[in-house]
Structure formats: structure tokens, C-alpha cells
Amino acid sequence: MPRTEGPGFDTLHKDLDRLSHTEIAQMHAFRPVWRLGLSVLGLVGALMLVLALSGAAPGLVAVGSGLVVAAWLGMAIGANDVANSLGPAVGAGAIRILPGLVLVAVAGIAGAVLAGDAVTARLAGGIVKLVPLVDGTQASMAMLAALVGAASWITLATGVGLPVSTSHSIVGGITGAGAVTLGIGGVAWGTVAMIASVWVVTPVLAGAIAAGLLVLLRTQVVDAADRGAAALRWLPAMVALMCGLFAAYVTLLVVQSPLQLWVELSAAAAASVVGLLVTRRRVLRELAEHPRKPSIKRLLRPALLAGVVILGFAHGANDVGNIAGPLSVILQERGGGAVGPVPTLVLLGGGLSIAAGTLFFGRRLVNMVGSGITKLNAGRAFCVSLATAVTVLGASHLGLPVSTTHVAVGGVFGVGFAREWLDRRRNRPPADMPVEETQRRILVRRSHVMTITLAWLVTLPTTATLGAVTCALIFWLTGI
């Protein structure tokens, strides 16, 4: 039966449908990276076998194979998640695709280098403390097994059309490889449980933030009696606050001096002024061109552009740990010693691999996601993007790896429920629709919850098993 649409219909089911289209688009756009992944896994397998049979040093096997797998994982991350950062802004016309890809790539590198050390350190030594409990060769081989196990699952899952998280995969891979190396008791199961609980909490938190932002945007701007005056009053202030807080956060990461507070406040003030002036100019131009009915889509372009930078930075800060965490152990000097500070070059290399995936493979995906079929409304996209960025940055600061996509889905749910609450509050009666359509919408919502839950439940034990099997196989091949 065809759908019946009306002004009172909620929009959550539409956004969830768009997410379904986005997931399908990701699978199609990810095919070149998937084929590359198959080649990488085959190359690494052959490399390990040849080096093992030739009697080469196990450390050489770990470094060579680890660099290859880590580079592919970084490109996969950059290719698959770029739509979360760039899709809304491209769909709203705030930026063209090519400059947007460059902007996301640069922001991701900055996030990886400036804020990626906390998540990297957690993955390098917070789940299993391989160094100095085992010799450097065993530690390197265990982390190589974790990378191979995660990469194998991501490649397999992508091939069968199951969207999974790189962060979930690498945590599982490290857990399984660490259990083989140190025994079950060598795994910090409390840390694993904490990380897993954060995977549940962060989508809910993002939903709450996105809902609050939407309520503010709807009540104070969209539904205001004088939309133009309301936009001039609220939007520049919102963007100024975004830019100021982000500048303060970055300054906190970079500046280490007795004058840090004053430098932080100065940077926040300068960024706030720039954000305020740019947004105010955009709003005044829109009001001059369309005084009777200014477009929220055009009004929000500066905010969406700021969201691209912040979300790209957050993405780099959190996801670089998936590469740099295991790789920092593999590249360490062998022979004992505690895990030191994460080398900046490792973070930079991880950021560059993510940026390469964004630039080389991201255009096709953003084209699909930014099309009229899959894009979110500009206002809802702004709320989801900002909520996702804030949540992911917070998790990164605490050293907790999370799934950017799952956090974004939580934001979509929050926005959808907030719209329904606002409609009920205004006593807007829902339009009549068939029972079949009502049931379909319930199923759409349940399907997304089940997809996230299934990915969360399946990925961790699967990648732990793959990491354990790969680790045992590597130890056998190399005679460790």
C-alpha cells in the first residue's frame, strides 16, 4: 500500500529511512576499499608465511605487516565515515564536495595529532598490558594479530552488507590477542566492560543533546513570529558559542604554560567573534534577499560549515587510536620497558591514512549521501552533527573509543523524538494513516535499534575470536 503523507506525520521514520539508504550507499561506495582490503589481507598472509619460512626476524614480520594493515584500516575509516562529517553540509549547499573533502581531511589530521593520544594510549595499554609483561616480539605479534583480526571482520562484514564499527572491532581484536598472549586473566575485563557500556551510553547522550538543540532551534527560530529577527538574534550567538568552545578545547590541548588560561580565553574570544561576524553577515544577506520567508537551510550554512570542522576533528581524534594504538606497540623498541608516550609520528601517520581514505574514496559516498534521497533536513542535520561531535570529543578526551556512526544514529533518534514532542505540545493532530503504515514505522525504528544492538553484540566476540586465532597462528608460524 502506498504511503500516506501529511503535515502532522512525524519525521523520524523519514530520517531513519534515509539512514537505511545511507547504509546501502556506504556499502556500494565502499566496494573499492573492500576489494583493496581483500588484497591487503592476502598480501599480509603471504608476507607472514614467506618471512616465517625464510627465518626472518619476527619483529620484521610484525612491523612490515602491521604497517600495511594499519594503512588499509585508516583508509577504510576515512572512506566510510566521511559522510557523517561532510554529508549534511554538502546537502545544504554550505560547501562543495572537493573543498569539503580537503577540509575534513585536514581537520581529521589535526584531531589525530592534537587529541588522539588518549584513545591511542587506552588501546595500546589499557585493555591488555603486553609491555613489559612479555617480550617486545610477543607484544608486537599480538597487536599485529589484533589488527589482522579487526581488518578481517570489517572486510567480511562489508562483503555481506553488515555495517560494523572499526572501534568495536579493534577492541575485540586486542582482547582476543591479549588473552592468547597473557591468558584470560591478563585482560582488563573491567576496562572492556566500561568501554562496552560507553557504546550504549554515547548514542543516548547524543540523542539528548541533539533533542535539546532542536527544541531550542525550533522554538526560538523556526517557529518564531518574526523568523528573520529571531535568526539574527540566536544563530550568530549559537555559532559563536560553538567556535569559542572548540577553540578553547584545542588551545587546552596545544598550550602548556603558566599563561594557559589567558591564552585559552583569548583564543575562545577570537573564535567566537569570527563565528559571530561570519554568521551575522550570512543572516543579513539572507534577510536582504528573502525578507518575507528566509530559508533555514541557507541561514544554517555557516553553522553547518563549523560543524564540518568540529566533527572532522572529533572523528580524527577518536578513530586514529584504532590504528595508532596497536601500531605504537608494534613500533616500540623491543626487549621490555613500559609503554611510553604515544609517538607523534604514529598519530600523524594514522591521521594521514584516514585523510587519504577521505580524499581518494570519500567523494563517491558523499555524492550518494548528500543527494536529495538520503540527506537530512539542514536544521536536523546541524543538531545531529553538533551532538555527535560533542559526544565523540568528550569520549576522546576520556580515552574511550566509540562508533561515530552509532553516535550519529542516536542523534537522529533524539531529533525525531523531540519533533514529535514539540508537535504534541502544540496540539498538532497527526494525520490519518493506514494501520499498515503505522506498523511499518514501528518496524523501521525497531530495525535500527536491532541493527545497532546486533553490531554491538556480534562484533566484540567475533573479532576477539579472530584476534585470538590469528595470534595463535602467528605464534605457531614464527615459533614464538
Q: pLDDT tens digits, residue range 145-200?
A: 999 888 888 877 766 666 678 889 999 999 999 999 999 988 999 999 999 999 98
What is the Cα gyration radius of the chain?
A: 23
Residue, of 446 and 146, whose pLDDT is higher: 146
Band of pLDDT at residue 334, cut at 50, 70 and 90: very low
DSSP string computed for 23-38: HHHHHHHTHHHHHHHH
Q: pLDDT tens digits, residue range 303-329?
A: 888 888 998 999 999 999 999 999 988
Band of pLDDT at residue 433, cut at 50, 70 and 90: low
pLDDT at 335 over 50: no
Q: pLDDT tens digits, residue range 395-415?
A: 998 899 998 878 887 887 888
Whether 173 maps to a domain, the answer reads yes
Residue 344 is predicted with a pLDDT of 85
- pTM for this model (two decimals): 0.83
DSSP letter assigned to residue 478? H
Residue 373 is predicted with a pLDDT of 32
Band of pLDDT at residue 10, cut at 50, 70 and 90: low
Three-state DSSP class for 93? coil
Q: What's the rounded Cα separation, in Å, for the pair 337 and 389?
A: 36
335: left (phi over 0), alpha (psi -120 to 50) or beta: left
Band of pLDDT at residue 422, cut at 50, 70 and 90: confident
pLDDT at 3 over 50: no
Whether 2 maps to a domain, the answer reads no
Q: What's the rounded Cα separation, in Å, for the pair 236 and 315?
A: 25
Whether 392 maps to a domain, the answer reads yes
**Cell 576489494 belongs to residue:** 35
Q: pLDDT tens digits, residue range 187-239?
A: 999 999 999 999 989 999 999 999 999 999 888 888 888 888 888 899 999 99
How buried is 25 (Cβ within 10 angstroms: 0-12 exposed, 13-18 middle, 19+ buried)?
A: buried
Percent of all residues in the chain with a pLDDT value above 70, rounded to a whole number: 76
Read off the amino acid at residue 466.
L
Whether 6 maps to a domain, the answer reads no
Q: pLDDT tens digits, residue range 237-276?
A: 999 999 999 999 988 888 776 777 888 889 999 999 999 9
Band of pLDDT at residue 53, cut at 50, 70 and 90: low
Structural domain including 343 reads 12-478
Q: What's the rounded Cα separation, in Å, for the pair 199 and 201?
A: 6
Alpha helices (H) along 370-434: 378-397, 404-425
Whether 4 maps to a domain, the answer reads no
**Cell 576515512 belongs to residue:** 78
Whether 3 maps to a domain, the answer reads no
Band of pLDDT at residue 358, cut at 50, 70 and 90: confident
DSSP string computed for 164-182: --HHHHHHHHHHHHHHHHH
220-245 burial, b for 16+ CB within 10 Å, e for fewer? ebeeeeebbebbbebbbebbbebbbb
Based on the structure, what is the number of domains in the chain?
Answer: 1
CB contact at 8 A, 67 and 44: no
Residue, of 265 and 14, whose pLDDT is higher: 265
Residue, of 388 and 342, whose pLDDT is higher: 388
Q: 227-254 and 97-115 are packed helices; what angle lies between their axes, rounded to 10 degrees?
A: 40
